[in-house]
Amino acid sequence: MTELLTGATGTTPGARIDADWWRQATVYQIYPRSFADANGDGIGDLPGITSRVDYLARLGVDAVWLSPFYPSELADGGYDVADHRNVDPRLGTLADFDAMVAALHAAGIKLIVDIVPNHSSDQHEWFKEALAAPKGSLERDRYVFRDGLGPHGELPPADWKCMFGGPAWDPVGDGQWYLHLFAPEQPDFNWHNEEVRADFLKTLRFWSDRGVDGFRVDVAHALAKDLPDDLPSEAQLQAMDRATGTHLLWDRDEVHEIYAGWREVFNEYDPPRIAVAEAWVDPPARRARYASAEGLGQAFNFDLLEADFDADAYRKIIVENLEQAAASGSSTTWVFSNHDVVRHATRYGLPPNGDRPRHYNRAWLLSGGADPVVDAEAGLRRARAATLLMLALPGSAYLYQGEELGLGEVADIPDAARQDPTFFRSPGVDVGRDGCRVPIPWRATGESYGFGPAKAHLPQPEWFGEVSVEAQSDDPGSTLNLYRDALALRRELQTDESLTWVESEPQVLHLRRANGWEAVANFGAAPVPLPAGEVLLASGPVDGELPGETTVWLRN
């Protein structure tokens, strides 16, 4: 185990540094339409990102993960891709993309792009061709078409539900229906089709040749499907075992043949391109194959994102994930927030959300953020403590734009401004994910708080000015400066991928890295004695003892 782990750090000399850069990287997720708007159309764009590279460099991130920037009708925030090898004209051009890559690389920042292989947009040329072509055609074989039931095919082939609510099969007018596990505008590809497979290899090379360093693979566990002639019902589908690799839709073992082919492409490059899988699998041990060196190489571990602020829960998650990572030969990943979940500064200001999913407080969102009332101060205090602990763990840390500002969820977006398909497909049940996608505030004042010259595409609340980059930049106690300090120190202190636990009180987690870098997190409300060592950084005021809900970094 130690052999796998040692040397996998930024301290190894020579070419290995480059090949292993991802193992303990800090990766910053940019949701491009909500990051920075250079041309004033209210939508963030690639020149906007380029204009903020200095900010990213000063923040101290190793890499950017860019959510989809491809041509899209925006039926699902860009995850409905009309052309996998181009840039949405509202976001820029391929030349703008090249300029952004050059600027990031010049600042020493790598770039990971989102790739969406499970489905395309219904505006994709291939789907248009499929609609224009007859049943049984090669054009239809690139997607998942089935005859409808009933004398004229007027009934769906099965009663399956899609992820955003409503049916998963939609008719195309000639008795056939197509499958969409997500929105109707996101038809699922047929991964048994060789053209589909070849086209994605082309896409991987297209972006790799343009200098992209890696890929975040969207719903990586859904590509391989095995649909029998007699489709099961939704209830039967739900009851199927997901743990054996034989479920008809999710996490089938054959999916790894696809990724073995991708790995060959990644390894054509020097250093090899990297990938991280978004794979929601159960049991978690099934993540290992996605993360293996023969596959994508790394997989998201969403366990901390689903955890309550609780020492026992955190400890169990940390131990299990480090073991799993070691077993797969990969490093683990940590994440609290992304474009799909309620921001963690808000989650931690709400009472523990017993219902699944824990990272998505559905009832609270439905109430417009009114019930229960968020304890914003406690939420931020806990988020800062949790993040500082996370940044001391071995493995990669994935951050989501705006969390470095301690940004909370925007819960009171008017219905008329909502964009997420979840809102439209689950009326009165779910409002969706717009609240974490509101364009981030750069300046304390102005029409869009510095996001761009015009109003932002999602309404920003008045409190955004107080938490803007401008408001925080020169305040040594701000969350922005906590992140800056933490990322700079993390880089300096980074060491091999092991940790040891130091005995502590039950509400405290105290860990030590190989070089004497320690993190002590007090999850309780009451202060505890501060362990010995030089205090390097703290998530809140520390004076002689370690206050409740505070993390400190020490050197011994």
Give the catalytic positions in this structure.
218, 268
Residue with tokens 């159309």: 41
> C-beta of 29: minimal distance to ligand GLC in Å?
10
Instruction: Name which position in 45, 62, 76, 88 contacts ligand GLC (CB under 6 A).
Output: 76
| Contact flag: residue 430 with ligand GLC (CB under 6 A) | no
| Contact flag: residue 97 with ligand GLC (CB under 6 A) | no
175 or 357, CB closer to ligand GLC?
357
| Contact flag: residue 88 with ligand GLC (CB under 6 A) | no
62 or 76, CB closer to ligand GLC?
76
Residue 238 burial (CB count, 10 A)? 11
| Contact flag: residue 259 with ligand GLC (CB under 6 A) | no
User: Distance between CA 488 and CA 550 in Å, rounded?
Assistant: 20
Residue with tokens 């400066």: 481
| Contact flag: residue 276 with ligand GLC (CB under 6 A) | no
| Contact flag: residue 340 with ligand GLC (CB under 6 A) | yes
26 or 72, CB closer to ligand GLC?
72
| Contact flag: residue 398 with ligand GLC (CB under 6 A) | no
Instruction: Name which position in 28, 69, 79, 314 contacts ligand GLC (CB under 6 A).
Output: 79
Q: List binders of ligand GLC among 160-219 (CB under 6 A).
A: 182, 218-219
Binding pattern for the stretch 277-316 against ligand GLC, x by CB under 6 A and - elsewhere: -x--------------------------------------
Cα of first residue to Cα of last residue in the chain, in angstroms, is: 25
- Report phi then psi at 31, rounded to 5: -95, 100
User: Distance between CA 63 and CA 29 in Å, rounded?
Assistant: 9
- How distant, in Å, are the alpha carbons of 52, 139, 328 from that of 293? 33, 34, 8
47 or 214, CB closer to ligand GLC?
214
> C-beta of 41: minimal distance to ligand GLC in Å?
22
Would residue 189 be called left, alpha or beta, if left means φ above 0 and alpha means ψ between -120 and 50 degrees? beta
What does the DSSP 8-state code read for residue 105? H
> C-beta of 205: minimal distance to ligand GLC in Å?
22
> C-beta of 455: minimal distance to ligand GLC in Å?
24
**H-state helical runs in 391-496:** 421-425, 469-473, 479-493
- How distant, in Å, are the alpha carbons of 61, 97, 98, 218, 523 from that of 210? 21, 9, 7, 20, 45
340 or 518, CB closer to ligand GLC?
340
116 or 467, CB closer to ligand GLC?
116
User: Distance between CA 552 and CA 556 in Å, rounded?
Assistant: 13
Q: Are 371 and 450 in contact (CB under 8 A)?
A: no
Give SS3 for 438.
coil
> C-beta of 237: minimal distance to ligand GLC in Å?
18
> C-beta of 223: minimal distance to ligand GLC in Å?
12
User: Distance between CA 274 and CA 282 in Å, rounded?
Assistant: 24
Determine the residue with CB nearest ligand GLC.
Answer: 79
Q: List binders of ligand GLC among 215-254 (CB under 6 A).
A: 218-219
76 or 96, CB closer to ligand GLC?
76
User: Distance between CA 200 and CA 206 in Å, rounded?
Assistant: 9
> C-beta of 227: minimal distance to ligand GLC in Å?
19
> C-beta of 218: minimal distance to ligand GLC in Å?
5
Residue 141, judged by CB atoms within 10 A of its CB (0-12, 13-18, 19+), counts as middle
- Cα of 380 vs its chain's centroid, Å: 21
Residue with tokens 């523990």: 352
Instruction: Name which position in 49, 74, 75, 116 contacts ligand GLC (CB under 6 A).
Output: 116
# of chain residues touching ligand GLC (CB under 6 A): 9
259 or 309, CB closer to ligand GLC?
259
What does the DSSP 8-state code read for residue 189? B
User: Distance between CA 314 and CA 272 in Å, rounded?
Assistant: 33
What does the DSSP 8-state code read for residue 372? S
| Contact flag: residue 411 with ligand GLC (CB under 6 A) | no
What does the DSSP 8-state code read for residue 258? H
Which positions touch ligand GLC (CB under 6 A)?
Answer: 76, 79, 116, 182, 218-219, 278, 339-340
